[in-house]
Amino acid sequence: MSFPLADGMEAGHRFELRANENTYQAVAVPAEKDDRYGYVGWAFYVDDSGVIRGSAFGKDSGSVIPGKDAPPVRSQ
């Protein structure tokens, strides 16, 4: 049996999952962080609200990982 996320990597993204008895958060960040490029992909955030949030990821954005204050992907 294979567990693709067991190493925290899938589809070119590094995943981080956090959970407790009441909430969860998941972040997906492009695995490639190359400061030569202004943009290497999109980073995503989702929590127990179910709203997927995201932002461009790379040197031009300061490689900032989105959080609960990032705009929803649907509105971008």
What's the average model confidence in pLDDT over 26-42?
82
Q: Is the pLDDT of residue 4 over 80?
A: no
User: Mean pLDDT in the chain?
Assistant: 84
Task: Report pTM.
Answer: 0.79
Greater pLDDT, 8 or 52:
52
pLDDT band at 64, cuts 50/70/90?
A: confident
Report long-range pairs for 64-68 (Cβ below 8 Å, ≥24 apart).
65/27, 65/29, 66/27
Q: How many CA atoms lie within 13 A of 56 on its CB side?
A: 10
